[in-house]
Amino acid sequence: MSMQPLQIARTGAADFAVRQNRVLRNTYALLALSMLPTVAGALLGIQLKFSFFAGSPLLGFLVFLGIAVGFMWGIQRTKNSGMGVVLLLGFTFFMGLMLSRILQAALGFANGGSLVAMAAGGTGAIFFALAGVASTTKRDFSNLGKFLFAGMILVLLAALANAFFQIPALALAISALAVVIFSAYILYDINRIVQGGEDNYIVATLSVYLDIYNVFVSLLHLLMAFSGERD
């Protein structure tokens, strides 16, 4: 009888591990799927020469935030149903459209294709390295949450200000900080799934997708500034 609590504890731990492995596996699968509408949106945007910020950068930025927040609110509300997946894929298509603007700018360089490939490769390397650490270490990185949130708010406010002032040096500083902040967020978000802090794979996918998206955009911006070759 004395072994029964130990057996119960072992069973509970095993069930928890299986559940969290399933959440992580589903997150990776949905994350891979979400890249398809992102690419489709980006290609469509390039073909149409889509430019959401053409008229007024500040107004465009605010409208973009409004649409993005609306999608994220809807995903959160429907996270336990198939509609959550539909909204997530719709959101990633929208984000692909938004991505097309910086891709158009990058492809305007003589080495534009190489810049995009380098940014994608760098983002992939960061993701796989940090996801590997986050999913194998026994350390809990939840204490990083408040610092990362403060950093993200700082990046957002700086980006909002620069949408009005258009200062190139500030834009580069924002991109460099964003690479650091959102790379750390990859570590934080994956570790949070492993530690049981997030048990919904749709919400988890949204978080990790945004981390990857922001790292890619920021890296590409830096590469364009420092390695772009004009014709």
- From 8, 82, 27, select the one nearest 194 (Cα to Cα): 27
| Residue 68 in this model has a pLDDT that exceeds 70 | yes
pLDDT in the model for residue 57? 67
Q: What is the predicted pLDDT for the residue at 176? A: 95
Quick one: pLDDT at residue 50? Answer: 80
Element (H, E) at 172: helix 168-194
- Cβ contacts of 186 within 8 Å, gap of 6 or more: 126, 127, 130, 131, 134, 208, 211, 212, 215
**Are 57 and 164 within 8 A, CB to CB?**
yes
CA distance linking residue 229 with residue 231, whole number of Å: 7
Please report the pLDDT score of residue 229 as a whole number: 77
Would you state the structure tokens that stand for residue 155, as one six-digit string?
């990046």
Q: What pLDDT score was predicted for residue 1?
A: 46
**Which residues constitute the domain of residue 140?**
4-227
Are 38 and 99 in contact by the 8 Å Cβ rule? The answer is yes
For residue range 20-49, list pLDDT tens digits in order: 788 899 999 999 999 999 999 999 999 988
What average pLDDT does the chain have? 87
Owner of token pair 């119960």: 8
Task: State the total domains in the chain.
Answer: 1
pTM of structure: 0.88
Note the pLDDT of residue 12: 46
Question: Can you give the length of the chain in residues?
Answer: 231
Residue 186: half-sphere exposure toward Cβ, Cα within 13 Å: 25
